[in-house]
Amino acid sequence: MMNTLLLKKPSFSLSAIFQAPVVKQQHNLKKRSNFTSKLINIYSDQIDLLSQSSDRPFEGNKVIESYYTDLVDSYERSQNALYRASDVLSESKFTNTMKDELYNRSEELSSVTLRFTPSDLKWLNNNYKPPIHKFLTSYHHNRLLSTYQIANFLNTSDVPLLRTVSALDVVEKAAKFTREILSLNNYPYPQIKIVNTTPSNTIYCIPQHINHVIFELLKNAALPSIARQSVITITISSTPIQTSLAPPHLTHSQTPSSTLPIPTSVVSNSPHPLPLDMDSKFYEKHKMTRITISDNAGGLEESTLPHIFQFHYTTASELEQLDEEDMKDQISGFGMGLPLCQVITGFNGGRLEILNRVGEGVDAIVDLPSYGHD
């Protein structure tokens, strides 16, 4: 009798093994297609906005006007490259293309210092109007949105870019970075006191964004505090979303926003949906985390208050002293710190306000969502 060899059926499906790479490839292509579609739409909005710069906000200054109209070509090239690359390039080539794109978008901001001269800044100071502010706010918001979308697509970590983090960790990292930048530029470091009212205080944000905001606010407080040998206090607390940014006992020292061409307190009205996956019902149920940076370095001059959120604002004395090296100094600045902080804070679903205590000091208040849909 012939022995029959009985073979057991495998416990796994051979067809599933061969289908897995196909399913993964289809998933990646769908992800790429969705991402490409979003980015192309953002670029289209940016191109439409930049195309207006030649005949509206910067009329009278060819350098500034041409800078923004030249960016149209850059965005159109990027948009055309996206159309070509979305279905043709391999995964690795597409990823490398997006890395180059992220670099290009990130370098836009630094390229301003190579084009604008002190005379251009003076012209902008003298001719700054709401249409210019609206244009620049929309431009920088679109730029942030595009870099976020690209970075999010390239992120292979299990840690999302937008997440709930410890407010204290963000503040401490920003303070450390401020110390490093001051040291690199041969400045001493002021004494900083951090008061965390609740150890569990968290914020829902893109941490790198808020690190930058806190750094800028600390940098603004650092030099006058060093001169007066006074302490900078950072207070982390919780606050209901409905509350006003300004504590009642401080509102008297704030210049009324109705008298300003650009308000000193803004809840960002973004031209695009924020990356935050939240709606009004979410905000009604959750609190905000407030980060207050307070100095006692004498406060701001009253003449400066109307311009604190004005892009590229510099005083007359600063313009006289400004040269090409100063325009690249991370401490002296280029009139972009607070305006960009306002855009970035709004982009992360938060609010920024500067309160001037006349003759005493400044309180910079940042409110951010405490929790999100991680």
pLDDT tens digit sequence for 206-246: 999 999 999 999 999 998 999 999 999 999 998 765 444 43
DSSP collapsed to 3 states, 173-231: HHHHHHHHHHHHCCCCCCCEEEEECCCCCEEEECHHHHHHHHHHHHHHHHHHHHHHCCC
Domain count, the chain: 2
Residue ending a domain, among 133, 154, 175, is: 154
Q: Are residues 121 and 249 in the same domain?
A: no
Token pair listed for 367: 């409110």
Structural domain including 211 reads 164-369
Identify the band that residue 286 occupies on the pLDDT scale cut at 50, 70 and 90: low
Q: Are residues 135 and 230 in the same domain?
A: no
Spatial contact of 103 and 151, defined as CB atoms under 8 Å apart:
no
DSSP state of 71: H
Which residue carries 């942030």 as its tokens?
144
The enclosing domain of 280 has a CATH number of 3.30.565.10
> What's the helix, strand, coil split of the chain in %, to 5?
55, 15, 35
Whole-angstrom distance, CA of residue 166 vs CA of residue 114: 37
Q: Are residues 264 and 346 in the same domain?
A: yes
Residue 352: which H helix or E strand, with range? Answer: strand 351-357
Q: Are residues 68 and 147 in the same domain?
A: yes
Q: Are residues 224 and 294 in the same domain?
A: yes
pLDDT in tens, 309-325: 999 887 655 555 555 45
Is 180 a residue whose pLDDT tops 90? yes
Q: Are residues 175 and 294 in the same domain?
A: yes
Residue ending a domain, among 154, 175, 207, is: 154
Return the higher-pLDDT residue of 265 and 161.
161
